[in-house]
Structure 1
């Protein structure tokens, strides 16, 4: 597929790619260049508060694991077995 660079360095992505990746207006792409190749990567951008809350939750779980309050499972199957009890 061919895309043409327009004024202000804009390009239009082929609709087949947009549809296949489930992209829509307003979605953000990370643009990188490597060895003369331009790469576009769809990005998910989350609010800072969401990331901070997630970090706190992970920190709390790590603390519970360290003091033995949070069970640790070697496999997903072991987790499900525990949940079924």
Structure 2
């Protein structure tokens, strides 16, 4: 597939690729050069506070449950689900404060 470089160095990602990768408006993409090739790949962007909470939570995997009010988690997926629930609750609380 050949693309044209437009004004202001812009390109359009073909619809077929967008659909194949299930990309959505607002998704983040990283672009870099590797061995003379331009690489564009989807990335997830998380806040520093989310990453810190993730690190703390992952450390609880298989630890003594009486040391914490949450956990231990049986898998990384369980830990991530827990973090996403907390993140959703925080977003909800922030939205309520803004009203």
Q: Same fold (TM over 0.5)?
A: yes
Q: CA RMSD in A?
A: 2.1
- The number of residue pairs the alignment matches comes to 67
Q: Secondary structure at the match of 1:25?
A: coil
Gaps of 5+ in 1: 74-85
1:60 match: secondary structure: coil
Runs of 4+ more than 4 Å apart = none
Alignment gaps of 5+ in structure 2 = 66-71, 75-99
Q: Distance in 2 between matches of 1:23 and 1:10?
A: 18
Give SS of 1:50's match. Answer: helix
Higher relative contact order (CA 8 A, sep 6+): 2
Normalising by structure 2, report the TM-score.
Answer: 0.58
Q: Any residues of structure 2 matched to 1:5-84 within 5 Å, and which?
A: 5-61=5-61, 64=63, 69=64
Q: CA deviation at 1:2?
A: 1.3
> How high is the TM-score relative to the length of structure 1?
0.67
